[in-house]
Amino acid sequence: MRSKIALFIGVVTVLSMTIFTCGGKKTVDKPSAPPKENTEKATAKPAPKADAPAASAKDGEKLVMAKCIACHTIDGKKAMSSSLKGLFGQERTVVTKGKERKVKADEAYLLKSIMDPTADTLKNGGIMPDMAMKEAEAKAIVEYIKTLK
């Protein structure tokens, strides 16, 4: 008899706890997180060729925000040096080993400017410090600069 009562109390306790916790959960249920993957996919660039190193504009953006934004803007405004916006494809007048020349800001020029900033210096430009960028990082940054039209 005793054990039956105990069982009954036990069942009632478990039931009421279940109801309580379920009800409680419903009210604190947070709205599900925004579908991050989708937004990333929407802005993702087409996958690079299989044999190419993975240089993604997204990685480049992170690097620029961390290391370059103090001196370069991405919105066209002039800061200490050129804005990175619209830079790709522009004509630059640079000084290379004391000689002035005109170059197109193509991938090679941008890579060199990032990895070896004193090789070609902008005419009337300032001095950019060597940022010790790895090639993969510089490539990602160039991919990012290309998106800043």
Q: 68, 74, 115, 140: which one contacts ligand HEC (CB under 6 A)?
A: 68
Determine, following the binding rule CB under 6 A, whether residue 5 of this chain makes contact with ligand HEC. no
Biggest distance spanned by C-alpha atoms of the chain: 105
Strand partners, 94: 101, 122
Cα(80)–Cα(78) distance, integer angstroms = 7
Which is closer to ligand HEC, CB of 16 or CB of 93? Answer: 93
Which of the 8 DSSP states describes residue 55? -
CB of 146 to ligand HEC, least distance (A): 12
Q: 74, 141, 143, 148: which one contacts ligand HEC (CB under 6 A)?
A: 141
CB of 135 to ligand HEC, least distance (A): 13
CB of 72 to ligand HEC, least distance (A): 5
Write the DSSP assignment of 70-132 as a string of letters: TT--SSS--SSS--STT-TT-EEEEEETTEEEEEE--HHHHHHHHHSTTTEEETT---PPP--
Binding site for ligand HEC (CB under 6 A): 64, 67-68, 70-72, 80-82, 87, 92, 105, 110, 113-114, 117, 121-122, 125-129, 131, 133, 141
